[in-house]
Amino acid sequence: MFDIARIPAFKDNYIWLLRKDTAAAVVDPGDAAPVLEALRREGLALVSILITHHHQDHQGGIDGLLAHSPSVKVFGPAEESITGMSNPLRGGERIRLAPLDLELQVMAVPGHTRGHLAYYGEGRLFCGDALFGGGCGRLFEGTPRAMHESLARLAALPDDTEVYCAHEYTEANLRFALAVEPGNRALRRRADEVAVLRAKGMATVPSTLAVEKATNPFLRCKEAEVAAAARARGAAENDPVAAFAALREWKDSF
């Protein structure tokens, strides 16, 4: 089993460092400097970079990492422009990071961007900006239907899957979730727990898919209270895609 370390970057990004023995891979290195410092401190050799999508805060550190380790493989979405990408992917592939003895399933999850990918293996999901703690990514390039279907694919993974998203957005997302579904007791408990963690400066990521399915409104569009809230924002009845679209539009201005 590989270990995972959290590398904070920018205001609220998380770069994920995967390591086994002296080998390491990183997910969405928007900044090279903190990654290089972690590699130096831990005595690790970088072998792979995994990119979920093209936004600069997810790929901006690739040049600096390749300058330090030119032979590193860079995996990323074939449909997007990724600096230094050597291994383009479209979803459906399985990739093996041999030095880490790790196989990952590549999942196409368009919506936030056109070619957005997620990586799943050994019960861990690295989902970039597709799924967040208590929320989901904005629809910069995709449609509500595409994002709804992408989230459904992620939600179909085992409930005990650990969700490693790329931003510390959980507290703000749960404030919105409570506006959508105030009667959800599990959501209220989670919001209280997250508030305590954030008051102590602690991370709220990873969560699990079980937690997300119980508290994340974007995975709960068929639930009665969530559907009613979406209808109040103009969504058609018995249409989970329309409910998702209404919730996402509401969240954008919340």
Give the active site residues. 53, 55, 57-58, 112, 129, 167
Helix, strand, or coil (residue 69)? coil
Judged on CB neighbours under 10 Å (0-12, 13-18, 19+), 95 is: middle
Pairing of strands 117-121, 124-128: antiparallel
Distances (CA, A) of 109 to 90, 138, 152, 199, 232: 10, 13, 10, 32, 28
CA distance 130 to 117: 8
CA distance 140 to 163: 22
Longest dimension (CA), the chain: 56
The structure tokens listed for 15 are: 């770069």
Sign of CA dihedral 121, 122, 126, 132: positive
Backbone angles phi, psi at 30, to 5 degrees: -70, -20
| DSSP 8-state assignment for residue 251 | H
